[in-house]
Structure 1
């Protein structure tokens, strides 16, 4: 294989040789998109999703404690999950805050955005 031969002739400290060596240790990871057309060739979607975090970093600097930072991260994660499931985060959060107090622990998973969306779609169908 051309890459293996070229990599062996280069110094191991050469950045190109290091990159080639990295690829050669994991060829299946770098060629998976050839076998599964659902895999995106770029990480643009992930970078766009993280853009809000980068922009808010300065505002979140003063979370006052590690626990406050963890809570902010959990809330942000829930909001992004709702968006990824095409659920309005404000409507979902408002409804969940009303329902969560009366919901038994074994059923809390029903309040997750993808379950909530299904429940509201079926309720909207009944009302329509």
Structure 2
């Protein structure tokens, strides 16, 4: 990568780091507050990132990896900005990615559910347990409780 591309990459990453720094500051706050802070701090950063991408795309080779990455960002720009307009939305989907990682890792082990219906039931159970984790509920305790109150 030449120095110009490297500088562009450094500039883009600095803006992205600043976005995540704001998110760290407002984590756990009310949605209205998160939206207000994002509008004040992150929306201008997003506009700076967009301006940087627009400017640099004019000079980059369309086949370069950086140009392709920037094109991806441009193609998904509205979705990337939606979190700035809604305090309930996270900046990324890392929580969902972490939740499904166990499914991806154990895929070979779960070929033995026995049937398509068994696989569907397994998927539902993993979804319920993943929801427990995302909501701070102990999945094992929840499952013990649910199985205890179900009719025989």
- Calculate the TM-score normalised by the size of structure 1: 0.54
2:104 corresponds to 1:54: yes
What corresponds to 1:82 in structure 2? 132
CA distance in 2, matches of 1:19, 1:96: 46
* C-alpha spacing 1:90/1:36, structure 2 compared with 1 (3 Å): same
The structure 1 residue matched to 2:144, chosen from 75, 94, 118, is 94
Change (3 A) 1:24 1:51: closer
More RCO (CA 8 Å, sep 6+): 2
RMSD after superposition: 3.3
Counterpart secondary structure, 2:105: helix
Q: Which has the larger radius of gyration?
A: 1
Say whether 1:29 aligns with 2:110: no
- CA distance in 2: counterparts of 1:77 and 1:87, whole angstroms: 13
Q: 2:95 aligns with which of 22, 45, 55?
A: 45
- Deviates further, 51-60 or 31-40: 31-40
* Structure 1 residue ranges (4+ consecutive) displaced by more than 4 angstroms after TM superposition: 18-27
In structure 2, what is the Cα distance between the partners aligned to 1:85 and 1:34?
A: 23
Q: Choose 19-28 or 61-70, whichever is displaced more.
A: 19-28
- Residue 52 of structure 1 and its aligned partner are, at CA, apart by 0.5
Alignment size in residue pairs:
102
TM-score (norm. length: structure 2): 0.47
Q: What's the secondary structure of 2:92's corresponding residue?
A: coil
Deviation at 1:27, TM superposition (A): 5.3
- Cα distance between partner residues in 2 of 1:85 and 1:19: 33
Residues 82, 41 of structure 1: alpha-carbon distance in 2 compared, 3 angstrom cutoff: closer
For residue 47 of structure 1, report the CA deviation from its aligned partner.
Answer: 1.3
Matched position secondary structure for 2:131 = helix
